[in-house]
Every structure is written in structure tokens, then in C-alpha cells.
Amino acid sequence: QAGEFTGTNVDDISVSGTDADVISKSALSYIQNNYAEQLAALGDNYTVSSRLVLSEQTANDLASDVKEAFSSCAPDATVGKYYDISVQADVLQDGNVVEGLGSLTVPALDSEIQLSVNIPADLKKDGRSFMMLHYHNGKGTVLESSVTNDTITFKTSAFSPYAIAYKDAVSTTQSNSAAQNTSVKNTQSTAPKNTQSTAPKTGDEVSGMLPAVAAVISFCVLAAAVYMRKRHCR
């Protein structure tokens, strides 16, 4: 028995030669451990042929818990593309696929490998950063990745739903506008809500006081005249 790796189903995903060997050996080991009875009937005259398969998916193709897990692990990012990445294997005898042993899914590898996926042209934009998300065992994870020459590269050993997500850079104009809005809100929040102003007295208020002042002066003059007349009579 032997294991072989035949490549990828599309050009949008690639793997190094060294990691291809990891895939072929892991696929052979998985098939031998999980299909022992079927293989026993073949003797040693068989080959396990494996390949790396990438399929684009839409949001409608995914269960709601998978989409929620992606959103939760990268709340500030936008998912641009969903993928299903898998390793599939065929058991071959005399160059033909053995009935019942074709397109078998290998869920995990014996060790991590490095994969590179092309970033779709419609997602590319100046100032945009990308990340690879992975859903596994009911949990979403942001994988450590790097972007070079329009491809995103990451390490993995398990196969299930993946997604490319992105964040757009905030422009200087947007930053300044946000800062100004924050400053205005802070000023409004610190201003006293109930204020009373004391207005200066106006000319109308002063003129309204003149009759009262004149009456007081007239009374004083009259009182003085009466007093003087009484003294004169004495």
C-alpha cells in the first residue's frame, strides 16, 4: 500500500511539496485506521490517493451557528468570502477507485500544514487588511496569517468551514470628524442644564422708578415748608 497526493482541485489554493507529503501520509493513516475491513479484502495491492479541495460557499450554504461563530470571533471585521476546505481521498486498485472507497473526507492531519489562498479580486482595496477565520468544534477562530502578493497564508491541521474577513483603514478625515463629534458631545454633556441669567436693568425699568422718586422729593419739600411756617408764627 502507498499514499500519494495529486494536488488541488483549483488554482486558488496551494500547498508546498513538504506539506503535500504530510497530507498524503495523513490520508493513508486515516483510511487504514477507519476502513480496515474494506482494505483487508484488497490485500496490499491498493493506493490511497489524496487531494486538497477548495469550494466557495455563500451565507445560505452555512448553518446559522457557523455564521454566528465567525461574527463573534471577529466582531469588527466583515466576512468577504466563505469557503469549505477539505482533504479527500480515494482508495485505488489497479488505477481504479474501489467501490465504496471514493471521495472519503479526511477530517484532520497528523500535523499542521501551511496553505495559501488567493484573495478574490472583488475584495481587494487600498488600505484593507485581511484575516482568515476557521470554524472547528463549534468555535470560530481568527488564524494567524500573512498577506503577500494577493494571497493569504495560514497554518491548519483541521478541515471545515473557513472565511476570509477584512477591515478597512479609517481615513484621516473620518478620524478628525469623529474626534470633533466627540468633543462637541463632551462639551454639551458638561454644560449646566439649568442656568438662570441676571439681565442688566434696562432704561424702561429706570424710567418706571422716576415718579416714585419725584413724590418723595415733593413730600420732603412740603414738610420743610410747613416746619418753617410754624417757626415763623412763634
State CA 25 to chain mean position distance.
Answer: 36
Alpha-carbon distance of 11 to 58, in angstroms, equals 20
Q: Please check whether residue 92 is in contact with residue 27, taking contact to mean a CB–CB distance below 8 angstroms.
A: no
Task: Grade residue 217 by pLDDT with cuts at 50, 70 and 90.
Answer: low
Summarize pLDDT for 136-157 with one digit per residue, the tens.
999 999 999 999 989 999 999 9
Q: Tell me how far CA of residue 140 lies from CA of 56, 58, 228, in angstroms.
A: 18, 17, 109
Query: What are the pLDDT digits (tens) for 159-182?
Result: 989 999 999 988 655 555 555 555
* DSSP type of residue 42: T
Q: Are 19 and 3 a contacting pair, CB within 8 Å?
A: no
**Burial class, 123, CB count within 10 angstroms (exposed 0-12 / middle 13-18 / buried 19+):** middle
* Cα–Cα dist 131/79, whole Å: 9
Convert the pLDDT of each residue in 42-85 to its tens digit: 999 999 999 999 999 999 999 999 999 999 999 999 999 999 99
Q: How far apart are CA 120 and CA 153, in angstroms?
A: 14
How many other C-beta atoms can be found within 10 angstroms of the C-beta atom of residue 119? 19
Q: Residue 120 above 70 pLDDT?
A: yes
- Which cell is 38 given? 474494506
Q: Which three cell numbers stand for residue 22?
A: 504530510
Pairing, β 47-57 against β 145-148:
unpaired
Query: What span, in angstroms and rounded, lies between the C-alpha atoms of 62 and 184?
Result: 44
